[in-house]
Amino acid sequence: MKKLRIGMVGFGFISDWHLTGFKDNPDAKITGMCHVFFGNEQQRAVEMEFLKKKCSELGIKVYNSFESIVNDPEIDALIIGSINPYHFEQIKAAIANGKHIMVEKPVVSDFNQLEEIKQLSAEKGIKIFPAHNFVYRNAVRKAKEIIEAGKLGQIIHSSFIVTHTISEAHATGWRANKDIAGGGALIDSGHHLIYQALYLLGKPSKLNGFKSKMVLKNMDCEDTAQVSLIYPDGSIAVIMQSWTSNHAGMINGIRIFGTQGSIVISDALYFNDEKIDSDVEYAGSFVNQAKAFSDYILKDIPPISGLEDVYDTLKITFGAYHSADTDTIINFRTILKA
């Protein structure tokens, strides 16, 4: 079986994590990279030189444009790591050119776009893999097994909480512009918390959202967001993402308790206070995700988190924003398309 040849779209920080993830993958390799250039002519020239230097150091092919990489028959699949507004058109172009796709979150930020790419990919036999890397941590998968085995009893409450700061470049770049980013902390970093909640708990019945801007005043969007959810069985959960502080080491993580037990995913997975799995690290999630991607394309093993989870993640995100803007509780089933 030949190795899957992958092109990387975008040379931002996330590309380095994907490169690490595929470095020792026996079934796939990243063979080339492009970048979507913007800014004035001088800025574009600087970025082009950076791309050439990076590709030279990696020993991979440099592509001068997205069009050149998507049209190359020597590329079997693409990892789309460009900024959010470019995803939709790039996904469509990849489908049209027969490239399988891994797409950074959010895959798209519009329900109609999601329906279109689902239809197009089905028609062309192209596989789309959401880069929901956090569910590929073994600790999260093992937590799912514990829950499904009923070892927690009746689940009562869950929390998915993360706060950290972001770099000045991120705080003042495209993420600060609501029209480009689609939102702030919740649709960006909070995306990871939402799809993990869907994986572990399923779909909620109702939700209530709050958002605030306390530190990153220059941004159009929130630097802190919280979503309260209730599930069909009556259990309650909270999701909170903030970009304001690095002082929550003992608070960050996933915590779920029931009538018979509890789970904590922080520096490791703990079941009833006993440490049972240490695979929680960010870098490791990309290694596991890379294997899942190559297995999906080459062996037809479905991803843990697919396009249906993209749809439900957007429903929770946009439902929370609508709830915060209107001061209402939202029925999950009746969230309107954005």
Q: Specify whether 323 is located in the same domain as 175.
A: yes
Q: Specify whether 325 is located in the same domain as 200.
A: yes
Contact 181, 187 (CB under 8 A): yes
CA distances from 252 to 108, 140, 183, 265 (A): 27, 15, 22, 9
Q: Is the peptide bond before 106 cis (omega within 30 degrees of 0)?
A: yes
| Blockwise average pLDDT, block size 10, the chain, 338 residues | 92 95 97 87 88 96 97 98 95 98 96 97 98 98 98 98 95 91 96 98 98 96 98 98 96 98 98 97 97 98 97 97 97 76
Q: What confidence score (pLDDT) does residue 42 get?
A: 85
Q: What confidence score (pLDDT) does residue 336 get?
A: 63
Look at residues 96, 113, 131 and tell me which one is the last residue of a structural domain.
Answer: 131
Q: What confidence score (pLDDT) does residue 45 get?
A: 87
Q: And the tokens for 107? A: 């895959």
296 in any annotated domain = no
Q: Specify whether 11 is located in the same domain as 87.
A: yes
Q: What confidence score (pLDDT) does residue 338 get?
A: 43
293 in any annotated domain = no
172 in any annotated domain = yes
- The residue behind tokens 């600790």 is 139
289 in any annotated domain = no
Q: Specify whether 120 is located in the same domain as 164.
A: no
Q: Specify whether 138 is located in the same domain as 266.
A: yes
Q: And the tokens for 285? A: 């999630």
Q: Specify whether 268 is located in the same domain as 158.
A: yes
| Statement: the pTM of the whole predicted model exceeds 0.75 | yes
Instruction: Write the DSSP assignment of 221-285 as a string of letters.
Output: S-SEEEEEEE-TTS-EEEEEEESS-S--TTT-EEEEEESS-EEEESSSEEETTEEEE----HHHH
Q: And the tokens for 161? A: 């909480």
Contact 114, 314 (CB under 8 A): yes
Return the CATH number at 41. 3.40.50.720
Q: Specify whether 163 is located in the same domain as 120.
A: no
Q: Look at strands 224-230 and 206-212 and give their pairing.
A: antiparallel
Q: What confidence score (pLDDT) does residue 195 get?
A: 98
Look at residues 131, 163, 194 and tell me which one is the last residue of a structural domain.
Answer: 131
Instruction: Write the DSSP assignment of 81-98 as a string of letters.
Output: -S-GGGHHHHHHHHHHTT
- Domain of residue 119: give its range: 4-131
Angle in degrees, 0-180, between the axes of helices 13-22 and 282-299, rounded to the nearest 10: 60
Domain count, the chain: 2
Q: What confidence score (pLDDT) does residue 1 get?
A: 57
Q: Specify whether 17 is located in the same domain as 34.
A: yes
304 in any annotated domain = no
Return the CATH number at 154. 3.30.360.10
Q: Specify whether 102 is located in the same domain as 151.
A: no
